[in-house]
Amino acid sequence: MQIDLSNKTALITGASGDLGRVMARTLAVCGANIVLHYNNNEAKTKELQQEIAALGRRAIIVQADITNEQQIYAMKDKVTEELGHVDIVVANAVIQYQWTSVLEQPVSDYVSQFESCVMQSVYLAKAFVPAMMERKGGRIIGINTECAMQNFPGQSAYTAGKRGMDGIYRVLAKEAGEHQITVNQVAPGWTISDRDRASGNEENVSYSQNVPLKRRGTDQEIANTVAFLASDLASFITGAYIPVNGGNVMPAI
């Protein structure tokens, strides 16, 4: 048994980011052609495009502000023209900001998290799900966070955005399910990425001591879960919020 995404096309928003790059490589290794979305980091995205081409897959680059509805539709039109329909959409992009308390957090940060978590999900659904319905199949995968269950001090804007995203995905799973479209979320913990490896900051005892598996997860472990959900192996899983964090948070029944 193996994950086979041959003849599939996957769109990854925020593909130039720490997690996005590994997701893109992993889906390409599984056989998918890749749409690499970026907002600002064109140079890094072009490097990733070359890596994927070296794997024998097609990869195109699209620039868009994921909080702008018209730019999402323009991205869809470009992808359709160059690669055809999209089978897998991974909503990974999110706006970064400085965390602080509710009383000190600028209101603009709540707006940015709503736009990049909730509205990105809505725009992507409106742009790509109708064609999936026509073809009777597709995969929508959102990158959420363990913070949505933690609700720790300082997390308010991020948590609010991701919990709103969770609501959109659960409703969409019910609305799109009859068309054999699955809609799921992957919720990473504090994940080790290339940035941590380069700085030697791969471990943090104060975090890991509370994780049942006693370590931080890796970017590859997140990407593996995305690949599984994108595949036919997960054809009967939808509406799920899946923590990939060594048990640091555990959804209850």
Catalytic residues: 158
User: What's the CA gap between 61 and 49, in Å, rounded?
Assistant: 7
Tokens of 42: 């064109």
User: What's the CA gap between 167 and 121, in Å, rounded?
Assistant: 10
DSSP letter string, 77-123: HHHHHHH---SEEEE----------TTTS-HHHHHHHIIIIIIHHHH
* Contact call for residues 241 and 187 (beta carbons, < 8 A): yes
Q: Which residues partner with 140 through β-bridges?
A: 89, 183
User: What's the CA gap between 121 and 123, in Å, rounded?
Assistant: 6
* Other CB atoms within 10 Å distance of the CB of residue 75: 25
Helix (H) or strand (E) holding 194: helix 194-199
User: What's the CA gap between 33 and 31, in Å, rounded?
Assistant: 7
Angle at 132 between CA 130 and CA 137, to 5 degrees: 145
Contacts (Cβ under 8 Å, ≥6 apart) of 111: none
| SS3 category, 203 | coil
